Amino acid sequence: MSRFTVEPTPLAGLMTVQRQPLADSRGFLARMFCAADLAPAGWTWPIAQINHTQTAQRGTVRGLHFQHPPAAEAKLVSCLRGAVWDVAVDLRAGSPTFLQWFGRELSAANHWAMLIPPGFAHGFQALADDCEMLYLHSAPYAPASEGGLDALDPRLAIAWPLPLAGRSPRDAQHPSLTPAFTGLSPS
């Protein structure tokens, strides 16, 4: 029996995954990852890296981050504390949903996660103070292959739910898209 409910999004390959906790009077147990259960949702990679982040201030935006091929990565992103507005942007060259985005609230309470395949940029906005996120990556971080987009790029028109409270200096310097950007080629 799978401990996950998987729902497709309007962007092909991008899935939302809800953990199904087992609860009793002591609390709950939630399976964070199971390769066999997530393979039908598209997760076919090994886990190469796991990251845990904490965002102190409500309204802060992190991202939009991606890795260029051949270091492109899939991510399974979960919120362990608080709540975030999680966003993925399709950057795949030739995709019918190129430059479209999808957002969903992920929280410690709702147990939703985002399964993001290679070729997408990812970011989130903290909806509460002291949010903690857990990222499972299919490839290790490759600094020479990192990329980023301006989270406030008018071409993307992402509907962030709160006024922007802050970004890192690196994220604030990510460029807006130009007409010359035709997408990421498959790795």
Point out the residues that are catalytic: 65, 135
At 172, give phi and psi (nearest 5°): -65, -20
CA distances to 20, 57, 78, 120 from 4, rounded to whole Å, are: 6, 30, 13, 22
Helices (H), the chain: 35-38, 169-172
Q: Is 68 exposed, middle or buried (CB count within 10 Å of its CB: 0-12, 13-18, 19+)? A: middle
For residue 86, how far is the Cα from the chain centroid? 6
SS3 state at 29? strand
Q: Is 136 left (phi over 0), alpha (psi -120 to 50) or beta?
A: beta
Report yes or no: 57 and 126 within 8 Å, Cβ to Cβ.
yes
CA–CA separation, 150 vs 91, rounded Å? 13
